[in-house]
Amino acid sequence: MDVFTLATNRRSNREFSKREVSADNLGGLKDYFASCPRLVPDIDVEMLILGEDASERLNACVGYHRFLIKAAHYIVLLSDVDEHYMENAGYIGEELVLKLTEMGIQTCWETIADGPLLKKRLNLSGDKSVAAVIAFGYEDAGLFARLGIKSPAEIFLKKKPGTAVPKLTIPQMFYDDEWGKAETISALDPDDDLYRACAAACYAPSFLNLQPFRLIHDGDKIVLVAVLDEMTDAADARLNLGITMMHFEGAVSRQSSGFQGWKLETPDKDYKLPDGAYVVGYYQL
């Protein structure tokens, strides 16, 4: 999978047609799920693929303001509850999103507004938690509904063809050495592995496109910092972080970089973080 290209071209779709994804492609998605990289490989995760008939059960349980984006199919990720399981679900979910993107299939993450009710509606027993829901299928007539955020109470969808949602750039997303210090990554060659990974991280989808995280380039480490915001709840914040780690790692690790992967630990250093920000982990270059 060419993660860099897929990550920079992907965007959420909110107008799906009724056209179903072929059994071949669904089989390819299941195979990919069985073998795709994970952030925390020890956590057991199951994938359900639901059809359009699940819309009624998902209705009012998922989506911004409980407004379901209807699609021909939905991925539901069920996970054992363990340390970093939501980041892991975000990471795996985005692997699946990019796999579908590669197949020419559109996607949209959907926030889980009422997990217990969703579990009940899907007749799920057992200890696993419903960690993620992703709508997927084919776009309807090339219309992308664009997200607009006026205030927490005013989130609206505008139908507009072919427009991408703006994302933070590398100078806005990255610092060198400590919080607030101007970065030097954007001076790298755009073909450089590190540059591509950092650009891919900037393109990560996030809840309401708020991108509540920053990255600090500290010598041989890229340190991921979460920034608490009032609109993103803890579950979506952790999904966001997993998605961002997937974009970064996917854009480097499948090339011959020799980079060593994410460690969900805090380096012993004062990054002069503002209140409400905390280190999630670091990528060892």
Ligand X SMILES: Cc1cc2nc3c(=O)[nH]c(=O)nc-3n(C[C@H](O)[C@H](O)[C@H](O)COP(=O)(O)O)c2cc1C
Give, as ranges, the residues between 143 and 162 that touch ligand X (CB under 6 A).
147
Considering only residues 8, 101, 111, 129, which one is a binding residue for ligand X as defined by CB under 6 A? 111
Stretch that binds ligand X, among 187-195, 204-212, 255-263, 265-273 (CB under 6 A): 204-212
Bridge partners of 141, per DSSP, are none
Stretch that binds ligand X, among 108-116, 168-176, 222-230, 271-279 (CB under 6 A): 108-116
Q: Judged by CB under 6 A, does residue 205 bind ligand X?
A: yes
The C-alpha torsion from 70 through 30 and 39 to 193, rounded to 10°, is -90
Nearer CB in complex with ligand X: 131/271: 131
Q: Judged by CB under 6 A, does residue 239 bind ligand X?
A: yes
The neighbour count for residue 284, using CB atoms within 10 Å, is 13
Q: Judged by CB under 6 A, does residue 79 bind ligand X?
A: no
In terms of phi and psi (left: phi > 0; alpha: psi -120 to 50; beta: otherwise), the region of 162 is: left
3-state secondary structure of 90: helix
Closest approach of ligand X to the CB of residue 10, in Å: 7
Q: Judged by CB under 6 A, does residue 236 bind ligand X?
A: yes
Nearer CB in complex with ligand X: 61/259: 61
Q: Judged by CB under 6 A, does residue 64 bind ligand X?
A: yes
Cα–Cα distance for residue pair 135/107, rounded to 1 Å: 5
Closest approach of ligand X to the CB of residue 181, in Å: 27
Residue nearest to ligand X (CB): 205
Stretch that binds ligand X, among 72-80, 193-201, 234-242, 273-281 (CB under 6 A): 234-242
Residue 154 burial (10 A CB sphere; 0-12, 13-18, 19+)? exposed
Cα–Cα distance for residue pair 67/198, rounded to 1 Å: 32
Q: Judged by CB under 6 A, does residue 63 bind ligand X?
A: yes
Question: Read out DSSP for 159-200?
Answer: EEETPPPP---HHHHEEESSTTPBP-GGGS-TTSHHHHHHHH
For 56-82, b/e burial (b = at least 16 CB within 10 A) is ebbebbbbbeeebbbbbbbbbbbbbee
Stretch that binds ligand X, among 11-19, 33-41, 48-56, 217-225 (CB under 6 A): 11-19
Stretch that binds ligand X, among 51-59, 80-88, 120-128, 236-244 (CB under 6 A): 236-244
Q: Are 237 and 88 in contact (CB under 8 A)?
A: no
Closest approach of ligand X to the CB of residue 27, in Å: 26
Considering only residues 69, 89, 170, 215, which one is a binding residue for ligand X as defined by CB under 6 A? 69
Q: Judged by CB under 6 A, does residue 15 bind ligand X?
A: no
Binding site for ligand X (CB under 6 A): 11-12, 14, 63-64, 69, 108-111, 147, 165, 205-209, 236, 239-240, 243
